[in-house]
Amino acid sequence: MEATAVDNMSVWSLISHASLVVQLVMLSLVAASVASWVIIFQRSNLMRAAKRGLETFEERFWSGIDLSKLYRQAGSNPDPDSGVEQIFRAGFKEFSRLRQQSGVDPDAVMDGVNRAMRVAISREEEKLETALPFLATVGSTSPYVGLFGTVWGIMNSFLGLAQVQQATLATVAPGIAEALIATAIGLFAAIPAVIAYNRFAARSERLIARYYTFADEFQAILHRKVHSSDD
């Protein structure tokens, strides 16, 4: 009898004997957890690639290489993971296009370069922040979804007690235990999602800040270049 009670209190046994609503809650939380981990691995690889691409391109940029040569190299062998390279290409392309037009004011050239790089930064920002709202949603709602499953399971357990003449711990414990599993799964889904969201949001902000810094420095170089050539 003791062995049978222990078997009935195993996790898988409790899940299989849970009500349909609680099982659906558990299934949705497991699906959210799996999706979160997939996103976590994808975002982690993307963030590492973006940081590596930033450091590699900045080293080439500040090595003293001619900007036109660097632009040709970046165009012939582009790095899709390097956001700063995309910003450089957008700015220098607009700079070259406006400089080839006769009678264009230097300030108008710089305004065009600034707009082009800001658009490129917005695209990179969108790329870095993709799927982060999903992690935030999972992290904030999973505990409440699990709590809903727990409340529903406990409610069914107490409704079942109404049909029993003598309520004992043995009759109450399985229903409460299977209900609490929903909360546990909700926390299991929420905690990694919250940690990952905070980490990726911070890393994304640091990368975007470095993108803006690079854009300002690059714009200053082009500003000196366009005004020195006019002089």
**pLDDT by position in tens, the chain (length 231):** 344 444 455 666 666 666 788 888 889 999 999 999 999 999 999 999 999 999 999 999 999 889 999 999 888 888 888 899 999 999 999 999 988 887 778 888 899 999 999 999 999 999 999 999 999 999 999 999 999 888 888 887 777 666 666 656 566 666 677 778 888 999 999 999 999 999 999 999 999 999 999 999 999 999 888 877 555
Distance CA 187, CA 145 (A): 10
Query: pLDDT at position 3, please?
Result: 43
In angstroms, the CA 96 to CA 67 distance is 11
Residue-wise burial string across 65-100, b where 16 or more C-beta atoms lie within 10 A, e elsewhere: eebeebbeebeeeeeebbbbbbbbbbbbebbeebbe
Q: What is the pTM of this model?
A: 0.81
DSSP type of residue 231: -
